[in-house]
Amino acid sequence: MANSRRHHDRPRRAVGSTAMEIFRTIIRLIATEGRLLRSELGEKIGLLGLGLALTVGGGVLLIMAVVLLFVAAISALVSAGFTLTVATLMVFAAVLLIGLLCLWFGLHQLQPSNLMPRKTIQQVQKDFQTIAPEAN
């Protein structure tokens, strides 16, 4: 009778230790995914900062372009010669172009598709496929 109890206890202990090992593996996996997510979100915050800086920079340059346009108009009215006016309009055009480029690149960086944590999502999907391939 004592032998039959020991025989039944062994599979239970093996199942229990296997379940604990699976639980530990899942906990390690979740911790690893959390570190990956924190790392990737840090990268995305950097991209967000760059996008915001370029957007603000573009906005400032566009304001400067408007000011330069006013200076050019005043200059055209005040002076009868076109030298200062033509030079001012050339500077205006250059600042306007740079401002539009900065604004476009900045807004492009702020698109939601650029801020998505793709690496973490792919890793979690891969982990789920490994853990439960029949669920896919």
- Tell me if 136 is assigned to some domain: no
- Tell me if 30 is assigned to some domain: yes
Residue 36's pLDDT is 86
- Tell me if 117 is assigned to some domain: yes
Residue 134's pLDDT is 61
Domain count, the chain: 1
Contacts of 44 (CB under 8 A, 6+ apart): 114, 115, 117
CA distances from 45 to 50, 69, 123, 133 (A): 9, 36, 20, 33
- Model pTM score: 0.41
- Tell me if 114 is assigned to some domain: yes
Q: Is 3 exposed, middle or buried (0-12, 13-18, 19+ CB in 10 A)?
A: exposed
97 with 132: CB under 8 angstroms?
Answer: no
- Tell me if 102 is assigned to some domain: yes
Residue 57's pLDDT is 93
The domain of 58 spans 2-130
Residue 61's pLDDT is 92
Render pLDDT for 97-128 as a digit per residue (tens, 0 to 9).
988 999 999 888 888 877 788 888 888 888 88
- Tell me if 62 is assigned to some domain: yes
- Tell me if 135 is assigned to some domain: no
Residue 46's pLDDT is 83
Q: Is 54 exposed, middle or buried (0-12, 13-18, 19+ CB in 10 A)?
A: buried
Residue 60's pLDDT is 93
Residues of the chain falling short of pLDDT 70: 1-13, 73-74, 76-82, 85-86, 133-136
- Tell me if 91 is assigned to some domain: yes
